[in-house]
Every structure is written in structure tokens, then in C-alpha cells.
Amino acid sequence: MSRIGNNPVAIPSGVKVTVTDGNIHVEGKLGKLVQPFADVEIKVEDNEVIVTRPSDSKDHKAKHGLYRSLVNNMIAGVSEGWTKNLELVGVGYRASNQGQKLELALGFSHNIVLDIAPEVKVETVSEKGKNPVIKLMSLDKQLVGQVAAKIRAFRKPEPYKGKGVKFVGEILRRKAGKSA
């Protein structure tokens, strides 16, 4: 039995949800999102979105919880938005942006220039004495996570000194190194 899929999704004020054949459209103060769906039935009833499945097959159970979570993330995205913060830990590691171009200095022989999708707002914060922070904001949770993962993949944090690109608040498993 899907426990997540059975919970209805509450629609906050200012958010409009419409279901057309095979697509769900969510519109709020921050923008619009569209998600195609299949193998489940989605209904909008008195400020709630209800997802039901046609049978108890394994595939239908999996999609039941999946589409309920996707609708919930879409509603949260158009009303509040999603944010990911990345921290650059290491001597000489820098980040700067001009519009949607993010330039990273991560200890390689050259700087990395990354074009960020126009749906994602990027901001860099560099304070003296603190590690540089990259802030990514968007209404699409999947897109923010994908861009953040791509930036992190350039220089993942290593376990001995913790140098690299990490999420703010991420706890790294540290190793002891050589004992002399």
C-alpha cells in the first residue's frame, strides 16, 4: 500500500492547478510548471489534489507515490521556490558570476565557465575570511538539484582535508590519514 500516494496534496491560496489529458499544470506567484503523467488518475477537489491508481500492481504502486511527490514539489516550487547552497572549501577556490555565466576557480590550470539554465537564478557570495558560497534558486526542484550536482561534480569534497565543492550543511565523513 502506498502511504505517500494516499495523502492528498493541499493547494495553498494563490496557486492554480489544472489537469488536462495527460498533463498537470500548476501556476503560482513565481511561475508555471507542467508535468506529464501516465498510469494514475489525478483529480482536483476542494483545494486538494488527489492521486489514485487503477490497480495494485507494482508499477502502479510506484507511480502512485511518484506522481503525488512530483505534484507536491511543483506546488511548493511555484509558491515558495527551491534553493540549493554550495560552499567552496579550499585555498584559492573562488566563484563569480556575470548574469547566467558562473566562473569557478577550483585549483585546476584553467577556470571553469558554466552556462546556467535561464530558469535557475544564480548568485555568488564572497566574504573575507569565509568560504565562497553559490546560491541557486528556481521553482523546478529537479533542475536546481541537477545544476547543483553538476557544479559539485567538478571537484567533489575529498575525505582527508575536506577540500572541494560541498552543499552547505553537508556532513563529510573524514579519514585519519597517515599515522607516522
Within-domain flag for 178? no
Distance CA 169, CA 3 (A): 29
Task: List the domain range (segments joined by +) for residue 54.
Answer: 3-79
Question: The CATH number of the domain where 57 resides is what?
Answer: 3.90.930.12
Q: Count the domains in the chain.
A: 2
Instruction: Collect the ranges in the chain with pLDDT lower than 70.
Output: 1-2, 180
- Tracing cell 505517500 back to the chain, one arrives at 4
Which of these three, 79, 105, 124, is where a domain ends?
79
Give the whole-angstrom CA distance, residue 137 versus residue 153: 19
pLDDT at residue number 178 = 86
The predicted pLDDT at position 2 comes to 56
What is the percentage of the chain residues whose pLDDT exceeds 90? 93
Instruction: State the Cα–Cα distance between residues 12 and 32, nearest whole angstrom.
Output: 15
Pairing of strands 16-20, 112-115: unpaired
Helices (H), 16-172: 58-79, 141-153
User: Residue 123 corresponds to which amino acid?
Assistant: E
What pLDDT score was predicted for residue 177?
87
Q: 77 and 141 in contact (C-beta within 8 Å)?
A: yes
Whether 177 is in a domain gets the answer no
- Which of 79, 96, 125 corresponds to the end of one domain? 79
